[in-house]
């Protein structure tokens, strides 16, 4: 996936846009497609109380700047007071332009990478859906676009949401969580299915990550404003991330809105959490998305010693700030570690093409969720308390 040459650049721009539903990949939607049965438990990757994709090992090695480490064990809360509804990003390796409804290793991996940890603060719901596949996106890069159907994917998400509301919600608060294609789906869901409807009162918050969420430049949104504090409810947290030394190039679609008077949202989860550094949960192996297009996982200790947990925490290593640059608005991430110290200051997360060329258009898209996972969980816990207090006082 080389980022060199005008043709390759054009395809990468379309690919980046397609990942967040901003670029038309197909022809007309398949309106005659048979709806999924979300009453069938097999149509869900995660449901509360099951031994499923969310019931996985999330053990984490906490590596301090001085090289000390300890293992943090994860424990889900089966009695969590709110729900989380998650729509996953573009991960399917199915050979068709839209995925089937059989979960592959890639769907299971992204649940562990991006969603299962929220089980400590909410009941977890994650539907399968017939998403636009990685196969379709890679075909686009090759200049041979496939006839994928975004409308079909979106209708699945709508059907899953409506089934959740009717059969599972029972008046509980719910956090919407999505990344990339999944975040684009949730943006449309908020606009088309939730805004100005009774279910809007159930929204604790929406985490629209790795997708450009348009907001007015000068006036705040009224119904779903951007979160300005960790205990604000009914609000949106959204950002796309880039390394501070690799800001978005002009051809990147992430973090930019073409419509006059609008800008891409950027909410810094660390700042909401009252911290100067991100509380990241970084994968020790693959990130869980875009298999085959990411660089090798770094050695987390300068000694090269292996880490035997699936995740690491690196306290104090990653600083972040929202940056306005040209037409872009994005989360700029910088490493603060000592390159000569016992803990490595190198992190992965880049999309890497042939010859090791980094696709700068994508920034740190592969680890958007990982970078702020600890912050987001803490914020959701505080929002949960605030939402319940508000509900009980009404």
Biggest alpha carbon–alpha carbon distance for the chain = 60
For the segment 15-30, the average pLDDT, to the nearest whole number, is 40
pLDDT in tens, 213-223: 999 998 777 78
Q: How high is the pLDDT of residue 140?
A: 83
pLDDT, position 356: 82
pLDDT of residue 15: 37
pLDDT given for residue 378 in this prediction: 98
| Band (21; pLDDT cuts 50, 70, 90) | very low
Sign of the dihedral defined by the CA atoms of residues 83, 287, 248, 10, in that order: negative
Bridge partners (DSSP) listed for residue 63:
69
- pLDDT category at 295 given cuts 50, 70, 90 is low
Domain extents for the chain? 6-25+37-393
Pairing of strands 60-63, 83-87: unpaired
pLDDT per residue over 41-64, tens digit each?
999 999 999 999 999 999 999 999
pLDDT at 293 over 70: no
Pairing mode of beta strands 69-72, 60-63: antiparallel
Q: How confident is the model at residue 32 (pLDDT cuts 50, 70, 90)?
A: low
For residues 341-352, average pLDDT: 89
CA angle in degrees (0–180, nearest 5) for 80-82-86:
105
What is the reported pLDDT for 373?
98
Q: Which two tokens stand for residue 182?
A: 């999944």
| Entry pTM | 0.91
Residue 74 predicted with pLDDT over 50: yes
pLDDT reading at 345 higher than 50: yes
Instruction: Give the per-residue pLDDT at 141.
Output: 76
Which residue in the block uniquely carries the two structure tokens 């990344």? Answer: 179
Mean pLDDT calculated for residue range 144-151: 90
Which pLDDT score, from 0 to 100, does residue 300 have?
87
């Amino acid at each position: 996936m080389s980022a060199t040459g005008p043709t390759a650049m054009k395809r990468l721009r379309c690919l980046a846009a397609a990942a967040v539903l901003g670029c038309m990949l197909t022809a007309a939607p398949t309106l005659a497609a048979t709806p999924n049965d979300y009453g069938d438990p097999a149509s869900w990757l995660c449901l509360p109380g099951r031994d499923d994709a969310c019931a996985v090992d999330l053990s984490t090695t906490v590596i301090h700047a001085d090289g000390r480490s300890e293992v943090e064990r994860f424990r889900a809360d089966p009695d969590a007071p709110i729900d989380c509804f998650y729509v996953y990003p573009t991960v399917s390796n199915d050979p068709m332009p839209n995925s089937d409804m059989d979960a592959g290793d890639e769907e299971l991996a992204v649940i562990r990478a991006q969603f299962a940890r929220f089980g400590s603060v909410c009941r977890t719901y994650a539907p399968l859906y017939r998403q636009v596949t990685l196969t379709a996106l890679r075909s686009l890069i090759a200049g041979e676009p496939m006839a994928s159907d975004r409308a079909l994917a979106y209708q699945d998400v709508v059907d899953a949401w409506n089934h959740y509301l009717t059969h599972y919600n029972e008046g509980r608060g719910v956090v919407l969580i999505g990344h990339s294609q999944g975040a684009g789906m949730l943006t449309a869901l908020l606009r088309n299915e939730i805004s100005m409807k009774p279910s809007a009162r159930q929204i604790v918050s929406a985490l629209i990550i790795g997708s450009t969420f348009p907001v007015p430049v000068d006036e705040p949104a009224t119904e779903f404003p951007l979160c300005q504090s960790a205990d604000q409810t009914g609000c949106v947290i959204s950002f796309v991330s880039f390394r501070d030394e690799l800001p978005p190039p002009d051809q990147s679609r992430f973090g930019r809105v073409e419509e006059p008077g609008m800008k891409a949202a950027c909410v810094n989860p660390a700042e909401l959490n009252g911290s100067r550094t991100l509380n990241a949960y970084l994968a020790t192996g693959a990130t869980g998305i875009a298999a085959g297009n990411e660089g090798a996982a770094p050695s987390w200790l300068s000694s090269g010693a292996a880490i035997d947990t699936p995740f690491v925490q690196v306290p104090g290593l990653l600083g972040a700030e929202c940056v306005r640059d040209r037409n872009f608005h994005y989360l700029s991430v910088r490493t603060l570690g000592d390159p000569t110290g016992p803990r490595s200051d190198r992190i992965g997360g880049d999309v890497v093409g042939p010859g090791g060329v980094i696709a700068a258009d994508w920034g740190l898209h592969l680890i958007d969720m990982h970078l702020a996972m600890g912050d987001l969980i803490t914020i959701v816990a505080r929002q949960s308390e605030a939402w319940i207090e508000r509900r009980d006082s009404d």
